Structure 1
Amino acid sequence: MLDTIQRRFDVLAPYIEAFGPADAVKRPAVLLFHACNGVREHIRQYARQAADAGYRAFVVDSFMPRGWDHTAAVSLVCSGLQLHGYERSGDVLAAVWGLSQRADVDASRLCLAGWSHGAWSIMDLMTQRLSRSGSARLMDPTPEPLKGVQGVFLVYPYINFPARSNTHPWEYKPRTLAILARNDFLTAHAHALNIVNHLRSENVPIETLDLDATHCFDEDGVHFGAFMSYDRACHRRAEEAFLGFLDETLS
């Protein structure tokens, strides 16, 4: 059964964490979408940094509204059994739609930020015209909320099968920065660059920051040898790139 965009936002809203200056000023905002292991502390840290820089930041949890804790998320989503990026792209659209209506958010200056599965979901959303029922797994999708999206920030995005950016052009073309890990085992660096170059050929203004790191390099405490290891220096570079990108796209 398909959700309406209102229903999807109503389900997500209790699990959206808000960060920002303690005032009612209408400010630019960044929406952050976590990886397949759920909301982790490093995602909140990015949000706090955005808030300290004067932006509003919203961490959108896609799993708790579905009744999934960390263990369930890893078992169901990281394994690919449930909630592919196309389906979760409805969460992204609904969050933009709902949060744009806040009196303290400047809906004309928004940035979408995603890590791994979250980046996949954002990228899948960019490929959809959103003109017919069922797109993004919503009954009443609309491209209207995306008019205010000025930037897309992607960190070790998952772009392997069945990510739609492999086969579908982007319908929306906000300025985009992709942080790519040269030792990413989920999406080979060479493949990610091929997708980036293809998007460029379609006039998507996308740039990359290529780091000598693994998948999840910015999640402290992660250590699975050559597959996933925390890298403090690369983490700092990603944070600097994040704040710089917000300034360039939203200020």
Structure 2
Amino acid sequence: MDTLSERWAKLLPNTIVVGPDDARPRPAVILFHGCGGMRPHLPLYAAAARAAGWRAFIVDSYAPRGWGRMFALSMVCTGATLRGHDRGGDVLAAIQGVSARADVDASKIAVAGWSHGGWGIMELLAAPRTRPGELGVADAGSASLAGVKGAWLAYPYVGFMATARTRPWLHKPRAEVVIARSDHLTTVRNAERIFTDHRKQGAHIETWIAEGTHSFDEPTGAMPMRHDPALTQVAVGRFEAFLRGL
């Protein structure tokens, strides 16, 4: 089983770094793709982060594991492997690795996840991290989340396999949750209920109902998902505003 440092050493070579062309410590946002893998909408959000003066790190969870898109669609999107709890180990390792960089302000970190990536982030926020092996890593309790000030969750998976979806967040960053009106994986009512419960438990969450499908911001031909370029631009603008407000 990987330690956090070993996991980050595997993830780093396939992590795309976008940001201002300088070496000064800047706030950083770490982006985690959906179950379909690295897709062309993520650089749009990274560019928005750069415009806000942030560094962005787009983490590929599949390349280090030797997985291609077809494997991901058939095995990860179906829940057969790498469920959100284990993806949380990637999130935690990336937080620790990015925070250690000289060009990052470790006191101002945000995490952003799309669908499966949002599931992984939520699993991390709810994890006690008191036992070896939690989140699929040997030393989950050794990393600090003190610098994590924000979480952007774009149509996060909150279906039946997300068993921690109702557990209280033990770390409570300011969060914005994008709920897709026509999401085939959840109803608006279900998603709103889950995040209302988290607010009652002390989480600082704002929800935005986007008038689109699941993955509306991702160019895709996979029905019932439909790409909406105009709504994508609204989402990217909200993402930039979210970072500027942290």
TM range (shorter): over 0.9
Task: State the distance in 1 between where 2:35 and 2:222 align.
Answer: 16
Cross-structure match for 1:101: 100
Aligned counterparts, 1:161-176, within 5 A = 161-176=160-175
Cα displacement string for residues 148-177 of structure 1 (whole angstroms, at most 9, x for unaligned residues):
000000111101122134342111110000
Task: State the distance in 2 between where 1:181 and 1:132 align.
Answer: 35
Cross-structure match for 1:71: 70
Cα displacement string for residues 181-206 of structure 1 (whole angstroms, at most 9, x for unaligned residues):
01000122211111011101101010
Are the equivalent residues in 1 in contact too, given 2:151–2:174 (CA < 8 A)?
Answer: yes
Task: State the distance in 1 between where 2:31 and 2:200 align.
Answer: 27
Q: After TM superposition, where is structure 1 displaced by more than 6 Å over at least 4 residues in a row?
A: none
Cross-structure match for 1:58: 57
Cα displacement string for residues 87-107 of structure 1 (whole angstroms, at most 9, x for unaligned residues):
110000000001110000001
Task: State the distance in 1 between where 2:58 and 2:141 align.
Answer: 22
Give the number of equivalent residue pairs. 246
Aligned counterparts, 1:60-139, within 5 A = 60-139=59-138
Any stretches of 5+ residues in structure 1 without a counterpart? Answer: none
Instruction: Give the secondary-structure state (helix, strand or coil) at the position aligned to 2:140.
Output: coil
Task: State the distance in 2 between where 1:236 and 1:180 align.
Answer: 16
Are the equivalent residues in 2 in contact too, given 1:129–1:143 (CA < 8 A)?
Answer: no
Are the equivalent residues in 2 in contact too, given 1:19–1:58 (CA < 8 A)?
Answer: yes
Are the equivalent residues in 2 in contact too, given 1:127–1:164 (CA < 8 A)?
Answer: no
Any stretches of 5+ residues in structure 2 without a counterpart? Answer: none
Cross-structure match for 2:221: 223
Cross-structure match for 2:29: 30
Task: State the distance in 2 between where 1:108 and 1:94 align.
Answer: 16
1:212 is displaced (CA, Å) by: 1.3
Residue 247 in structure 1 maps to residue 244 in structure 2 = yes
Are the equivalent residues in 2 in contact too, given 1:47–1:57 (CA < 8 A)?
Answer: yes
Amino acid at match of 2:155: Y
Are the equivalent residues in 2 in contact too, given 1:100–1:145 (CA < 8 A)?
Answer: no
Are the equivalent residues in 2 in contact too, given 1:133–1:140 (CA < 8 A)?
Answer: yes
